[in-house]
Chain A
């Protein structure tokens, strides 16, 4: 009876207020509860003192007066900036060669970049430890010949791993940027007497500034907020995200005020980076669209060889960790020591424990992906088709959520939902909601761009023929976007399934996921098991992408 009455009320509300106002209101409520409130709460906590007299800035004063704390911020900025600069330096030429030259192994390069891009975030680091760590394969082999390598631990190792793991951001952004430049622009510059290098620096590079800065921002934010890599190879080199994580694990929920303060600092830096990039890219935006994009050009053999060697070497190095994980998953392991002997033992052992994390991972990922698809499409629709003050606000909130790192969101959700009226800590729901909010901006952005390509007249025609807004959305918009929505779903899945940083903070024993499981095995130095689990995770990440790139014919630029 009540159910019937409620549908009655719901329908009447829809009738009176209209379909989109109701949806908009629901979206605002969700964003408020899952994004705004958590952020407001950590900001609030960070400004609260232990006692009434202390200044609201007391926590920040503590942070900036104790070297133990503020050094982590300096460290974080240093490694992230270094990784960003290096990623740009190696990524831009690689993208240029791969899109402009007839290099060998183009298909391999594309696949390798995608694989690198989607590999679980910390797999790179522990793979490098397997190879170059203190008791690593290559370190020990070379030691037998009396050669000692520089240490992989600490800042240089972190920068190396970040660079190789994140340069695909730059590579993909610049590739797609190059494809939006018309061949005639380059031809004109050539025709006016510029050589290749001059054309690159005077014409192409200026046009690529928005793409490069967007790629650089992604590298910086990813590096600045990463927890896995610094924990695994950072050793005594401490960065800000690890400090936050430490505050949570050493004494669960013990010092939420400190953790919140740190999280706000992290958020401030990422937001500032985002705004800086927006502003900078805006200054250099030219709004080019290519009718005939830049073409691949034949090169003389030597140039071709050198360019191919460079690109293949780079992606080869980036791919090395993944190959290494897959191979070592079939090797006997004795703790961190791998023995060159084939075995399926690692898989046999994980078989016993994998059920819970695997089903958790799949369930959370699927649920979050579905929510992203539905809410993301609706929000994109509101932004594109119903612009106005609310649409603009929604756009702003969603864009802001780009800058919210997983770990900050994790802290925010914990401090918001660990006490009545709503307690979610330790539940599956909090993980699903976190995954959902983290990927939502990406879903929104992709639905915005697909809606912008869809002529508005088609929907107006439906309205004009008497279908209401809700019916039009379901019967016209959604079917027309179904392929785009499907590819969005596959992308969301691949990106969500390997989430680590928010999960590390939000998970409890029963809600453990695959990436947590791998992380734990790595920290406990069970490299064989970690590799077997890692291989499973890589497969789960990669399969949807295979569908995306082969069946749906997407290009790898869709990833960024």
Chain B
């Protein structure tokens, strides 16, 4: 910790930083208002896949960067799960060294264009911004700025391919190509390893591809990152399920010396209420996979999807917001969120809730489904819901929803998307009986090295945390890469 503070201080007292800081009075910086993100018109975007946020212009970005007063002890960094040097990248933007800003981001975050779009900044860096905690003013738009710098770099065509150490011919396997796996692969390639990423699906990217929709995270943004990994020598094997297509033993025989498991929390939960298996009722994973991964809404593709008229989405997380907004885009007359707590407890990013409202999504908060009914063909046509009220906080710290007796009523629906959480993917633990897992099915690892109970196996992301976030998954992947590097180096020394 001491070291980090020392380092930040040294960085802050560099000449260019001091100069730019002094170029404007703090009072003038604080007098500026937070830049608004340019957005597509809600009534146009809710009928297309166009990205909702169009990104700041260079001018807007510099103006916003000027708001940052470059605090002596920057609290924002403490809110960032991977400890990005936030003031440094923002000041680079202020000096209009946008590529330099991207470089600072990439020191700690392998996927800034992704994180700038999907991180819950209002709960992380921006929650700890000086403006939020001391001034009760809107925080510096750190997320917008992160996205701006990363997009600028990508559009400039001058994306730096990170330097890699001399190729060492040591084979390492990364299992799963979500943010955890991609981040691990990137760092391992930098250390000079021969890295292969194994992915069960036919596309690389994990949730970034099959889950988060195009209107929030265009595939192109993810593909550029994957391309950059390829250029660093990372190999990808799609349609390959480790534990099924080949076992860990098989891979060891092929020469793989250590493994990173980033297999995610891809298992959908259902509520186990009557009627949940009627046609027209999907898990959000199925609904989003059909639309995002299989392109089901495009008539030129073979996969079908039911595009309902009266769509109810159960849940209040990002996945629920993505599903309900997708339903609207597929032409639903009514797309409703049915959530058992109130808006305050919603786990979704604040921006997604705001966007959903603008797009005409109905919110039925404090309601919970009890049962589904179907027509003679087995297609859902009604659901019974119950009103809820909030009681004392539960284990999650959020106020517990309590059913109000006698408040049940029926809603007409023709499509329901169940989005009440996911469980860890059991494929890997099932194929490794010696692997230590929790009662929840998550893999137990050392917090520093991400090493599991099997020495050559490391893990991170949702398979360790349950459903978490992109940035945490990415951070885990990088920690694990360092842990694996240390493990291999020690093994070599010992021999």
Is A bound to B?
Answer: no
